[in-house]
Amino acid sequence: MDLIDDRERDSESAVTTKAYPHRRGHRVNMTVGPILPRIVQLAWPLVLANTLQTIYNLADMFWVGQRLHSTSAVAAVGIVFPTAWVLISIGTGITIAIATFTAQYTGAELHDRAGYYAAQGIMMSAGLGLGLAAIGEAVRVPLLHFMGARGAVFPLALSYVSVIFISVPFSYLFMAFSAALRGSGDTLTAMKLMLVASLTNIVLDPLFITGIGPIPRWGIKGAAIATLVARFLAASVGVFYLLEGSKGIKIRLAHFKPDLAVMREILFLGAPATADAAGRSFSSVAIMALVTRFGAVVTAAYAIGVRVMSVVWGVSGAIGQATNAGVGQNLGARQSDRAEHVAWMSVGLAAALMTSVGFLAAIFAPHLVRFFIDDPATIAEGTVYLRTYGWFIGFWGGLIVLQGAFRGAGRTARAMALSYLDRWVIVLPLAYVVGYSLNRGPHGIWWAFPLADSVTFLVAAVWFRRGSWKRTLVREASAGSE
């Protein structure tokens, strides 16, 4: 891409001020004013959206447990969750690249360029989502066998995952839409759409699982169909908003002409983030494969525990996404010192919130697990998991935020390296050795998570403090991530 000098930036800024009067609507400008209030303003809709996403996921498990009264059905939904996450997370690289480019071009006041990159990224997301959905359908049987789905759990998991894979392209479209708005500083619109999608899923789940009137009893498959309908709704409205242009960023039809040079930039920046997300999701699959060997009770307890903790993870993920946008906007505006301040304030905020929520999860662990299923053995094991992890979850929060800062700077390979250190270098070997070789059982697996998170956070903090990430992509867009 050709370099853009200051005169061109000023010229485009003058044009886009008229062409995009909406950009002052929900958009949070992270380049001026007090930092902490702007982080909160940008992050709270993301916290709520991620919480809604978690509730959205929890709804399937909750209604399956309540309506079908089956530990095997709950375990089946739990097994499918990391499996579906593998396919969805592969597209994370593109969405992170969309958010990073739109943030930096928004900070540089090049709004039409931001919309152009968003459109190219959306086309890539749609194509990738369709391809991965087809792959998922083709390999679903051997994949479930690898995950440890056995006996009564297998046909239930197969019925559920077959529909979930169909919904993957719509998830990709919504992720791309959310990333484009997030980069421009608008996190409120995507949150409102997620609210609608979550409510849709919550309402449709019990109707489709047990049937009512003309709606047949679909069982566990009904929960997946409800998720498909909700994702389709959110994706459709999101794409409409981008084309209509009143929600923080404007995409014109002319932007959808394929530009291979820009797509390469997006791919090059997003490739490490894709490897990052894929590595994390595959590690979740591997961990689930370790857990399922201990039987349905431990599997159900872990599945419920992960879903409960995902509410906590959603807080750090939201602040990390806000940090991505804040660092990106400030680097685009040539304010690297302010970008660093944004990152460290976000780390403090995430650590404080995560520790507080983690303590609550640990204290009320038995009640949280009982909410999903009233089985004493499952409740006991789920409580151990939540109390082992909950006390130390603040380290995970700080790590996620620093990874978001690296991504906002376009240093996606560094964020990827930290994820692989956490999950593949520490968690998995430690879980296997302690859980199996030392015969500590599932409790050995539970302890691997807080130990890995604390070590990796310290590595991330030292690496970020060195400051070698302080370069903008606006003048270095052809340089890729690293």
The owner of tokens 């084309």 is: 243
Tokens representing residue 133 in the block: 């959905």
Q: Quick one: angle between helices 296-332 and 92-107, nearest 10? A: 20
17, part of any domain: no
Mean pLDDT by 10 residues, the chain (482 residues): 35 38 60 90 84 74 76 79 73 89 88 89 92 87 81 85 89 90 86 88 88 82 90 89 75 89 92 84 83 86 84 82 91 91 94 90 91 87 91 92 93 93 93 85 89 95 93 56 38
C-alpha distances in angstroms, 110 versus 17, 96, 264, 323, 462? Answer: 10, 19, 20, 20, 33
Q: Is residue 23 part of a domain?
A: no
Tell me, yes or no, whether 352 lies in a domain: yes
Question: Could you give the angle at the alpha carbon of 395 between the alpha carbons of 394 and 400, nearest 5°?
Answer: 100
Secondary structure of 115-169 in HEC code, one letter for each residue: HHHHHHHHHHHHHHHHHHHHHHHHHHHHHHHHHCCCCCHHHHHHHHHHHHHHCHH
Name the residue among 116, 88, 91, 234 with its Cα closest to residue 180.
Answer: 116
CA dist 2 and 474 (Å) reads 10
Tokens 């990796």 sit at which residue? 456
**Within a 10 A sphere around the Cβ of 475, how many other Cβ atoms?**
16
Our count of domains for the chain comes to 1
Asked whether residue 12 is assigned to any structural domain, the reply reads: no
d(CA 229, CA 100): 30
| Domain, as residue range, for 438 | 33-479
Residue 266 lies in a domain: yes
Query: Please, are residues 415 and 477 in contact by the beta-carbon 8 Å criterion?
Result: no
pLDDT tens digits for 426-443?
999 999 998 887 878 888
The pLDDT of residue 24 is 46
pLDDT tens for each residue of 346-384: 999 999 988 998 899 899 999 989 988 888 899 999 999
Q: Are 371 and 430 in contact (CB under 8 A)?
A: no
Task: Note the pLDDT of residue 246.
Answer: 66
Residue 167 lies in a domain: yes
Whole-model pTM over 0.75: no
Q: How confident is the model at residue 75, as a pLDDT?
A: 79
- CA gap 134, 147 in Å, rounded: 19
Report d(CA 259, CA 262) in Å as an integer.
6
Write down the pLDDT at residue 15: 36
Q: How far apart are CA 376 and CA 481, in angstroms?
A: 49
Asked if 296 contacts 153 with a C-beta cutoff of 8 angstroms, the reply is: yes
* CA–CA distances in Å: residue 298 to residues 85, 366, 376: 21, 15, 12
Residue at 22 is within a domain: no
Task: Identify the pLDDT of residue 58.
Answer: 72
Q: Residue 5 falls within a domain, yes or no?
A: no
Cβ contact 392:311 at 8 Å: no
